[in-house]
A = this chain, B = another copy of it.
Amino acid sequence: MTGNSFGQQFRITTAGESHGPANLVIIDGCPPGVALSESDIQPDLDRRRPGQSKITTQRREPDTARILSGVFEGKTTGTAIAIIVENTDQRSRDYGDIMEKYRPGHADYTYDAKYGFRDYRGGGRASARETVARVAAGAVARKLLAGYGIEVIGFVTQVGDVTASIPDPLAVTQSAVEANIARCPDETAAQAMIELIDRMRKAQDSIGGVAAIVAKHVPPGLGEPVFGKLKADLAHGLMSIPAVTAFEYGAGFDVAQARGSENNDRFTMQDGQVTTVGNRHGGMLGGISSGLPIVLRVAVKPTSSLSKPQDTIDRAGHAVSISTRGRHDPCLLPRFVPIGEAMVLVTLADHLLRWRAQCPDQYAAWRNGAQRAHFATPGDRTNPE
């Protein structure tokens, strides 16, 4: 898999820099006949858009998606879908500082080390601006998966020392998430998060956090043995997002302290369906989906760009000070939610297609019984915190 592509059967390839003319994605392998227009893509782009609230960067980008191919008369044709998002707010400005200095926590030095030089305008390809293309692709996957009842919802569970209380993560709805600008369904925690983020902004500093993502109504059977495990591809997708430093699913790091007799979710039947009591396994066993909700969490580091002066060096190795002027998110978490969802959506779409390529009979059996209620009671739920 080359650096700018992800997926095998539902495969995305992106391009674009922070201050270039556009970001774009080509989606290969999307099934034909999916109703799709720009209006399916725009809502997720809007959720990711800079300038959406007082706690995000004030860069102004309309982030308008334009479909260039692969859709005809309102439906996907099965051929390559290209979506472009033009950059409009690339201010002409003096890049002198970041041109010569290595911003701490950024990819400036590593790009120089790798390639010998770099596009220093706004971080170039290393900027989180590239995630606009992921979100566009994720919206297409979301539309596809919705046809199968599969739903993916992310939300913020921690910012700094503010931790949300979410008694039933599987009950979190997207409207609850969108009810506040922190994208945290615990209203009280959300307000504390917003306040903390605002404090960071004023202090010319930034703050990290944690987001959870839940995927519901995933059929049992997605994922492949060994390297193609669903947990491995999800980890790959999420860890490829800028600023993500940790990934866990189900009980995650807590398994270290658990005994097998505590950690194993025992199988049982419910409404004629196989399920488990508890979901410490986060919806995946042997790397293959069990039909229970997939529950995962990632850590997102505090924004590296700070208005506050930081010590560093320049390309010549001289000690210098740098302060990154202007428009940065004091906390990445609120805008991270649709980005993280996008990678989960794309990964699930890929594995759904791979599954039916190899196992058409099992796929058909699931389709025929898909209406049956899985995992309906509180007993099946895991608290991702």
CB of A274 to closest CB in B, whole Å: 6
Q: Which of A13-71 contact B (CB under 8 A)?
A: 13-17, 20-24, 26, 28-33, 66, 68-70
What residues on B are CB-neighbors of A236 within 8 Å?
A: 227, 232-233, 235-236, 239
> From residue A351, how far is it (CB to closest CB) to chain B in Å?
10
Per-residue CB contact flags for chain A residues 105-139 toward chain B (1 = under 8 Å, else 0) read: 11101110111111101001110001000000000
**Given A208-B256, A246-B246, do A117 and B32 touch, yes or no (CB 8 Å)?**
yes
Task: With A286-B111, A290-B109 as known contacts, state yes or no: A267 contacts B69, CB within 8 Å.
Answer: no
Beta-carbon contact of B113 and A291 below 8 Å: yes
Question: Taking A221-B113, A225-B3 as contacts, is the C-beta distance between A245 and B248 under 8 angstroms?
Answer: yes
Taking A30-B358, A263-B304, A266-B311 as given, write out 12 further A-B residue pairs in contact, using a Cβ cutoff of 8 Å, ordered by the A residue number: A2-B29, A4-B228, A13-B80, A24-B68, A32-B359, A114-B222, A116-B361, A251-B301, A252-B299, A255-B302, A256-B299, A260-B305
Ranked 5 nearest A-B pairs via Cβ: A107-B286, A3-B224, A3-B228, A357-B357, A246-B248
CB distance from A365 to the nearest CB of B (A): 8
Query: Interface size of A by Cβ–Cβ distance < 8 Å?
Result: 158
| Chain B positions within 8 Å of A119 at CB level | 72, 77, 79
C-alpha spacing A255/B333, complex, angstroms: 12
Enumerate chain B residues within 8 angstroms of A16, measured Cβ to Cβ: 68-69, 80, 82
Pull 21 A–B residue pairs with CB atoms less than 8 Å apart, ordered by A: A1-B228, A9-B357, A15-B70, A31-B359, A32-B115, A33-B361, A77-B125, A79-B124, A110-B286, A114-B222, A116-B362, A125-B226, A235-B236, A235-B238, A245-B253, A245-B282, A246-B249, A256-B300, A263-B304, A264-B310, A269-B319
